[in-house]
Structure 1
Amino acid sequence: MSDDTFTERLRLARPVSGDLDALFPIQTDPRVWTHYPSLRHTDPAQTLEMIERWRRSWAEAGLGSWVARLRDTDEVVGNGGCTLLGGRVWNVGYRISADHHGRGLATELARAGIERARAIDPDRPMIAYLVEHNTASAHVAEKLGLALVHRGPDAGNPDPSVVRLVYADRPLTLAQLDAALR
């Protein structure tokens, strides 16, 4: 029996190493990384390490990033879900193939991740961690019911002018905000 999660249009599955060939083209597409180009993958080893991080998150927290496929065609269209940051906050995140932007898939995927995270541990705050010029992601965070709780420099970003935003479902303690910003 599969432990896949289904939304209206997506089948969400835990990642496996065999997902590399479908995920690598998404992770290398400059259109997907418009808002943070220095994170764009240039080597399949980067994508494989990302898959392994997701798998560790599933093993340690009972939740992580899913591989998202269209239910009607089984095409891989991205990844996303919730991961635990610093043992203190759930971080909802997603990456959708540029060919599928603007169709609400990110919101659909993120909602599924939030539902699962709240079922596992509803007492942990939910956050979305994004850069200010990514207005599409900010719009998704707001549709998910998250509100802006932090705006500041994006430490470690090669572009010093970039501003980091943290949205959350509730006020954060300093320790929770610190976990979100690491």
Structure 2
Amino acid sequence: MIEIRTPRLLLRRWRDDDLAPMAEINGDPRVMRWVDDGSVRDLEQTAEAIERWEEEWDEEGFGLFAVELLASGELAGFTGLSVPDVLPEPSADAAISWRLGSPFWGQGYGSEAAHATLEFALQDRGLGRVISISRVGDEASEKVIRKLGMVPEREAAHPVYGVPLRVHVIDLSEFDA
């Protein structure tokens, strides 16, 4: 089982007891504001999402990690790699993403987890390029994206909701792991 430890976090696969805290995160309008159409997710939708994330691990060899605080054992949210489904055209690139509960914002956890995920993409999965997709206007995500050394590549519209998206890219041969 793949686990990554950073100074403050454990990135790991999903467990049954992660459902309730992740559903709480997904049920927070502040957290979900920049996701798809901005609507919150309930317990059942969160369970379905976690099931899809776990299936992606089996199918792709990567997926979304549960992010746990080492100090307290709390689930802070997720980070990881996925096959993007929010672009109008198919992409061969893995996309890095993250979602943390609002109590965990502004403490550097997102950047720490995302940096570890890029190291995993390069060193363990041999990926040469990773993208990140953000909603235009999501300054908090853009800040993390810049810290990772990613640069804007293009803009697109979400294929279902029509919201403007910005695609960022990093060539992992230039990534400072």
Q: TM-score surpassing 0.5?
A: yes
1:180 is matched with none
> Where does residue 57 of structure 1 map in the other structure?
56
Amino acid at match of 1:114: L
List gaps (5 residues or longer) in structure 1.
Answer: 171-182
What are the residue-to-residue correspondences of 1:119-134 with 2, within 5 Å?
119-134=123-138
Distance 1:129 1:3 in 2: 24
- Structure 2 counterpart of 1:143, from 147, 151, 169: 147
Higher mean alpha-carbon deviation, 27-36 vs 138-147, is at: 27-36
Helix, strand or coil at the partner of 2:30: coil
What letter corresponds to residue 90 of structure 1 in structure 2? A
C-alpha contact 1:26 1:32 (8 A) present in aligned 2: yes
Comparing 126-135 and 111-120, the one that deviates more? 111-120
Aligned-residue sequence identity (percent) comes to: 27
Cα 1:54–1:42 shift into 2, 3 Å: closer
2:175 aligned partner: none
Residue 163 in 1 paired to residue 164 in 2?
A: yes
Partner of 2:37: 38
Change (3 A) 1:126 1:43: same
Q: Do 1:90 and 1:124's aligned partners in 2 also have CA atoms closer than 8 Å?
A: no
Q: Counterparts in 2 of 1:8-27, with a 5 A limit? A: 8-27=7-26
Residue 99 of structure 2 is matched in structure 1 by 95
Q: What is the CA RMSD across the aligned residues, in angstroms?
A: 1.9
1:55-87 Cα distance to aligned partner (Å, 9 max, x none): 011111221111111101001111111123467
- C-alpha deviation, 1:90, in angstroms: 1.4
Q: CA deviation at 1:169?
A: 1.0
Match of 1:70 in 2: 69
- CA pair 148-21 structure 1, distance change in 2 beyond 3 A: same
Unaligned 5+ segments in structure 2 are: 85-89, 172-177
1:4, distance to aligned residue in structure 2 (A):
2.3
- C-alpha distance in structure 1 between counterparts of 2:115 and 2:61, whole Å: 17
